[in-house]
Amino acid sequence: MGDLRDAFKKAGLIDDKTDRRLKHEERVQRKELGHEGLEEQKRRADAERQSRDEQKKQDIKAAQQKLDQERVRSERWKKLVADLEREALRGISGPRRFHYHDAEDYLPYLQVDDDTGRKLEAGELAIAKHPETKEALIVPRAMALELAKAEPGLVVHLAGG
């Protein structure tokens, strides 16, 4: 407390008379508390400081865990989108129209060959929307199930799923 009082005195915020009054009040308070009271006051201050430090550590740890979870989720999502682009069947066209129910309540269709149509009906293949382009893609069942876990609205057709 003396250091703060000295700093105020040097800055000209308190004069000698106020300084002497503050010192006297400090002595009176110490005398009233006694040795045990001063020790108790010190223990309480230490406990409060330790409690604040522990709370700060817990807050920092929680924030770091949240940041790590977001980073892992982001990396998992990027990998899932890359797998979707890689595993999607492209260039499949044929005489058959395969209709599916879209999220916007439309019934669009894909032109597929008979073999692909049977696989879609059997659940070996599925139709999913690309998360960025919203293009309908034909993907293997395993890929559709994984995508449905992450973002259920992207899988628009999965027989038996």
* 58/28: higher pLDDT: 58
Amino acid at 39: E
pLDDT tens for each residue of 34-58? 878 778 888 999 999 999 999 999 9
Looking at the chain, the whole-number percentage of residues with pLDDT higher than 70 is 98
Q: Is the pTM of this model over 0.75?
A: no
Q: 3-state DSSP call for residue 4? A: helix
d(CA 41, CA 39): 5
Is 80 in contact with 155 (CB distance < 8 Å)?
Answer: no
| Per-residue confidence band for 14, with pLDDT thresholds at 50, 70 and 90 | confident
Burial class (CB in 10 A: 0-12, 13-18, 19+), 148: middle
- State the pLDDT at residue 161: 64
Beta strands in the chain (DSSP E): 96-99, 109-112, 125-129, 136-140, 155-157
d(CA 90, CA 16): 88
Question: What average pLDDT score do residues 14-20 get?
Answer: 85
Q: What is the DSSP letter of 13?
A: S
pLDDT tens for each residue of 84-116? 888 888 877 888 888 888 877 788 888 898 888
Q: 3-state DSSP call for residue 153? A: helix
For residue 5 the two structure tokens come to 């009082």
CA atoms within 13 Å, Cβ hemisphere of 147? 29
